[in-house]
Chain A
Amino acid sequence: MASSIRVRAVENNGVTSLKALVRHPMDSGFVKDSAGNVIPAHFIKVLTISHNGKNVFVANWGPAVSKDPFLECRFKGAKKGDELTISWIDNEGASDSTTATIA
């Protein structure tokens, strides 16, 4: 299966700018389906971005983050060609992880 995570990271003047898009329903638990049944909450709780084994960014998300969440962040200390690891885990314990090379 293709990864649920799409990442683009670009280094410029010592600052790496990262954009990530994750495919996930992010159900809030407040929405009903067409039959009137509540769709249970299903959302990513934690997404981490790490470089050389160290977290450079940690997002703690609740169900109010939009479907197919988007994240942009910036950090120093990485250079072109370095590898980043992006991982998430949701409230049902499912998880995914991918790596990206800084351009």
Chain B
Amino acid sequence: MLGVSVAGFALGSGIVPLRVEAATAPDASDWPEKAFKTPGVDETIAELYGMEATESDQITMDLPTIAQNGAVVPVSVETSLPNVTGIALLVAKNPNALAAYFDIPEGTLPFVSNRLKMAETTDVVAVVISDGKAYKATQNVKVTVGGCGG
């Protein structure tokens, strides 16, 4: 609908759109809409990867145990698991659990650091895809001021 109306506007007014979206803009069509709108950790992992994740002690998470500001919680994940193709970060009690997930192509180290919002005290779950299987690690973070407002 939007595309049609924009094209109509451009034709009708004789204006040629100046920027038909730069060729360097990433493609967001693979963005997993449904996984990002799913509450609950297990449900989200199932939606995102179609499997259950098993606990692993080879995933290292670096994040504060107490976050004074839930709007900015730094989270780092690193793993010694082999052949990692993806890392996902989930916050258990956020309205939607999935916060971010990363594609790790060959040659990229299985490490990521990111900053997340947390609505309340809850578990942060890191999910790592290694050799096609899902592994997870969990750490609880106490939030003194929530990051989702309201």
Contacts and interface: CB of A to CB of B under 8 A. Distances in A.
Interface in A45-66: 45-48, 54-66
A4 interface: no
Interface string B130-150: 000000000000000001111
Interface residues of B, number: 43
B18 interface: no
B148 A65 contact: no
Interface residues of A, number: 40
Given A30-B95, A58-B103, A74-B111, A64 B26 contact: no
A70 B102 contact: no
B64 interface: no
22 contacts: A28-B117, A30-B148, A31-B148, A31-B149, A45-B31, A48-B26, A57-B104, A58-B26, A58-B105, A59-B100, A61-B99, A65-B99, A65-B114, A66-B71, A66-B116, A67-B72, A73-B108, A73-B113, A87-B26, A91-B28, A93-B21, A95-B21
A11 to B, nearest CB: 13
Contacts of A48: 26
Nearest to A65: B100
A85 B24 contact: yes
A71 interface: yes
A8 interface: no
Nearest to A21: B115
Given A46-B26, A60-B102, A75-B108, A65 B94 contact: no
Interface string B11-47: 0000000000110111110111000100000000000
Contacts of A76: 107-109
A30 B150 contact: yes
Contacts of B91: 64
Contacts of B76: 72
A15 interface: yes
Given A28-B117, A95-B25, A64 B94 contact: yes
Contacts of A54: 105
Contact of B107 (A46, A56, A93): A56
A48 B104 CA distance: 11
Given A15-B109, A31-B148, A93-B21, 8 more contacts: A65-B117, A66-B147, A67-B72, A72-B111, A76-B109, A77-B107, A89-B26, A89-B27
